Amino acid sequence: MKSRLRTFDLWNMFWRCLFIQGSWNHKSMLGLGFGFSAIPFIKRLFKTQKQREECLRRHLDFFNSHPYYASWCLGAVAKLEEEAKRKKWDDSRPIEIFKERLIGPLGAIGDRLFWDGIKPAAAGAGIALALTAGWIAIPVFLLLYNIPHLAVRIYGLREGYRQGFDIVSGLSVRRYQRWFDVMMMAGGVIAGLVLAAAVRWSWLQGAGRMDPLHAESFVPPALFAGALLLTWVALHFRISRHWTIAGAVLLGIIISLAAAAL
């Protein structure tokens, strides 16, 4: 089939997909960005201006998902449009339904994996390094975050184009559960590293300004120990994070006031 997509077309779609949020709006969400990213395969598959306009118009409608996982749908839609042209489908409605059905899974997986997992973990590692090693934290944070970010976009686009409709079978929240668990564990470890780095930094900052035997010099390690104890209690008794945060704030105030009184 002469109109089959080239590798260049897929890479062109990938680069465009990096800007998929550039035209975000309340009416179509990522719809305009999806249409912009779809232009390379539309130009490859359709030769007349009328056919291209009709196809582009279909892909400017409402579409929403996690922006990094949008490439999975984009690759699959390119495959389906190619299949529809080759087999001369009478109706494009199956493709539109397919896009609608992917909105939920792509959003749920992407939000939990990146917004709740990778992003906080990478930011925490960057903060810990900033407090201990200085400027090296910036490139480390960018690498820790963007390697999985770009890998997900590229892999999703390729797999979407390879599998078409079958991409749905791999987009299950249950299939990603182990990755969610790993990121949660990594987030806990990194949070501990950040606390340790913050205590070390506070201790070093305060060492030159106060007597090491003064009560205020024991505030950082006391807060650290109190935070660890509070975290254990919250996890053991399944206390909500809102009450845990409130308790941490109250604990910090009590320890600080006690140190100031002494």
137 in Cβ contact with 101 (< 8 Å): no
Residue 207 lies in a domain: no
DSSP 1-31: -TTPPPHHHHHHHHHHHTTTTTT-BTTTBTH
Residue 32 lies in a domain: yes
- Residues 236 and 242: their CA atoms lie apart, in Å, by 15
Q: How many domains in the chain?
A: 1
Residue ranges of the chain with pLDDT lower than 70?
1-3, 187-188, 191-225, 227-228, 231, 235-236, 240-242, 244-245, 248-249, 252, 255-262
- Residues 153 and 142: their CA atoms lie apart, in Å, by 16
pLDDT of residue 227: 67
pLDDT of residue 200: 63
Residue 11 lies in a domain: yes
* 68: its two tokens: 């990094």
- Residues 102 and 73: their CA atoms lie apart, in Å, by 7
pLDDT of residue 210: 47
Beta bridge partners of 82: none
Residue 88 lies in a domain: yes
What is the percent of the chain where pLDDT is above 90? 45
Query: Is the overall model pTM greater than 0.85, yes or no?
Result: no
Residue 183 lies in a domain: no
- Residues 148 and 213: their CA atoms lie apart, in Å, by 47
Residue 64 lies in a domain: yes
Residue 39 lies in a domain: yes
**Could you give the maximum distance between any two Cα atoms of the chain, in Å?**
83
17 in Cβ contact with 157 (< 8 Å): yes
The residue segments making up the domain with residue 91 are 1-172
Q: Which of 57, 59, 58 is nearest to 30 (CA)?
A: 59
DSSP 143-190: HHHHHHHHHHHHHHHHHHHHHGGGGGGG--TTTTHHHHHHHHHHHHHH
